[in-house]
C-alpha cells in the first residue's frame, strides 16, 4: 500500500512572533529565514510512519509544492522514514494557493496507485484549511478533516475518529482511496535520522516541474497588517510586582476578591 503525505514548509516559530520581520520578509527566498515542517503535516507524517512500523510493505511518499525550503523539508521527511520525496517546483505565490496545490497533488495522485493521502488539516502560516478537502473533491474521493486517530484499516475501508467543534467528535468510515486531514498534537513526531538524510539522492528525491498545470492562482495576498484590536489592549507599565498588584486590584474591582 502506498500513502502520499503532503508537506508544507513554514517559518520557524520564533520568526512568527515579530510581525515586523514577517512584513519585511514575506518571501521564501530570503536566506536568513529558517523553515520547519508545518506542525499539522508533521503529525500527519507521523501517523503514516506509525502504520509503516506495523506493516513494512507500506510505502510512504511525501510531496511538497514550492522552492528550496520545500526541498529541505522533503529531505527531513526522508530522514524521518519516508521512502521518497516529490518536489513540485513552482514560485511561492502558487505554493500558498490551495487551488494550485490541490491540482498539483491531484496530478501526482493520478500518476500513481496511492491508497490514501495524508494531509495536515491546515498550515500554520496561511491557515486555509482546505487543500486536502479540495484535492478530494477534484479526485471525487472521500475525505474528512480534524482526524485524531486511525481505528481500523481493511482492504477497502478505513475507520477514523475526528474532532468537531465544542468538544464533539465522530467515528467515520471512508471508502479507499481517500484523503485524511489530521489535527495537530495527536502524536509525538520523531526527529530525522541524519544518516538517512545524507543518503538522499535523485532516486529518493524527485523534482518535477509544473508546466502542465494551470498556473493561474485563485486569489492573491495584497497586503499584510497587524490584526485589528477587539478590546482596549491597555499595556501595564511598572515593575512585575506593581503589575501583579494591579492584576489583584482588578479582581477586587470586579468583586472577585
Task: Please identify, among the stretches 65-73, 84-92, 120-128, 203-211, the one whose residues bind other proteins according to the rule CB under 8 A.
Answer: 120-128
Nearer to other proteins, 56 or 191 (CB): 191
Cβ at position 240, least distance to other proteins in Å: 5
Contact of 34 with 21, CB cutoff 8 Å: no
Query: Should residue 12 be labelled a site residue for other proteins when binding is judged by CB under 8 A?
Result: no
**Which among 158, 128, 125 has a CA at the least distance from the CA of 47?**
158
- Cell numbers for 239, please give them: 515593575
**Which among 231, 234, 230 has a CA at the least distance from the CA of 243?**
234
Cβ at position 85, least distance to other proteins in Å: 25
Residue 90: CB atoms within 10 Å: 21
d(CA 108, CA 116): 12
Phi, psi (deg, nearest 5) at residue 171:
-105, 130
Query: Should residue 124 be labelled a site residue for other proteins when binding is judged by CB under 8 A?
Result: yes
Subset of residues 61 to 100 that bind other proteins, contact rule: CB under 8 A: 98-99
β partners of residue 175: 157
Contact of 244 with 124, CB cutoff 8 Å: no
Question: Hunting for cell 495536515 — which residue is that?
Answer: 120
Subset of residues 18 to 57 that bind other proteins, contact rule: CB under 8 A: 18-19, 22-23
Query: Should residue 110 be labelled a site residue for other proteins when binding is judged by CB under 8 A?
Result: no
Nearer to other proteins, 198 or 250 (CB): 250
Subset of residues 207 to 236 that bind other proteins, contact rule: CB under 8 A: 216-236
Task: Please identify, among the stretches 28-36, 61-69, 80-88, 246-254, the one whose residues bind other proteins according to the rule CB under 8 A.
Answer: 246-254
- Cell numbers for 19, please give them: 510581525
d(CA 247, CA 29): 44
d(CA 234, CA 227): 16
Nearer to other proteins, 13 or 198 (CB): 13
Nearer to other proteins, 97 or 205 (CB): 97
Subset of residues 128 to 187 that bind other proteins, contact rule: CB under 8 A: 128-130, 133-138, 140-146, 159, 162-175, 178, 183-186
Instruction: Tell me, by CB under 8 A, how many residues bind other proteins.
Output: 84
Q: Is 15 exposed, middle or buried (0-12, 13-18, 19+ CB in 10 A)?
A: middle
Cβ at position 171, least distance to other proteins in Å: 4
β partners of residue 78: none
Q: Is 224 exposed, middle or buried (0-12, 13-18, 19+ CB in 10 A)?
A: exposed
Query: Should residue 1 be labelled a site residue for other proteins when binding is judged by CB under 8 A?
Result: no
Cβ at position 98, least distance to other proteins in Å: 6
Cβ at position 92, least distance to other proteins in Å: 14
Among 2, 125, 210, 215, binds other proteins (CB under 8 A): 125
Cβ at position 19, least distance to other proteins in Å: 6
Amino acid at each position: 500500500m502506498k500513502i502520499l503525505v503532503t508537506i508544507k514548509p513554514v517559518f520557524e516559530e520564533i520568526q512568527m512572533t515579530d510581525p515586523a520581520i514577517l512584513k519585511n520578509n514575506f518571501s521564501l527566498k530570503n536566506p536568513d529565514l529558517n523553515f520547519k515542517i508545518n506542525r499539522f503535516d508533521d503529525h500527519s507524517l507521523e501517523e503514516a510512519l506509525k502504520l509503516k512500523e506495523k506493516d513494512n510493505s507500506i510505502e510512504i511518499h511525501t510531496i511538497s509544492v514550492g522552492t528550496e525550503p520545500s526541498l529541505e523539508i522533503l529531505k527531513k521527511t526522508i530522514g524521518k522514514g519516508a521512502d521518497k520525496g516529490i518536489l513540485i517546483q513552482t514560485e511561492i505565490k502558487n505554493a500558498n494557493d490551495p487551488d494550485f496545490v490541490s491540482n498539483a497533488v491531484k496530478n501526482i495522485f493520478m500518476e500513481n496507485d496511492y491508497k490514501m493521502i495524508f494531509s495536515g488539516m491546515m498550515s500554520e502560516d496561511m491557515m486555509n484549511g482546505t487543500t486536502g478537502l479540495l484535492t478530494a473533491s477534484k479526485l471525487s474521493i472521500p475525505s474528512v478533516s480534524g482526524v485524531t486517530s486511525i481505528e481500523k484499516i481493511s482492504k477497502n475501508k478505513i475507520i477514523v475518529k475526528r474532532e468537531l467543534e465544542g468538544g464533539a467528535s465522530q467515528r467515520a468510515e471512508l471508502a479507499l482511496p481517500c484523503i485524511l486531514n489530521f489535527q495537530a498534537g495527536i502524536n509525538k513526531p520523531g526527529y530525522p535520522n541524519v544518516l538517512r538524510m545524507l543518503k538522499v539522492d535523485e532516486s529518493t528525491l524527485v523534482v518535477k516541474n509544473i508546466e502542465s498545470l494551470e498556473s493561474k492562482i485563485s486569489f492573491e495576498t495584497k497586503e499584510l497588517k497587524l490584526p485589528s484590536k477587539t478590546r482596549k489592549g491597555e499595556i501595564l507599565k511598572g515593575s512585575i510586582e506593581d503589575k501583579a498588584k494591579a492584576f489583584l486590584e482588578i479582581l477586587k474591582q470586579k468583586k472577585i476578591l
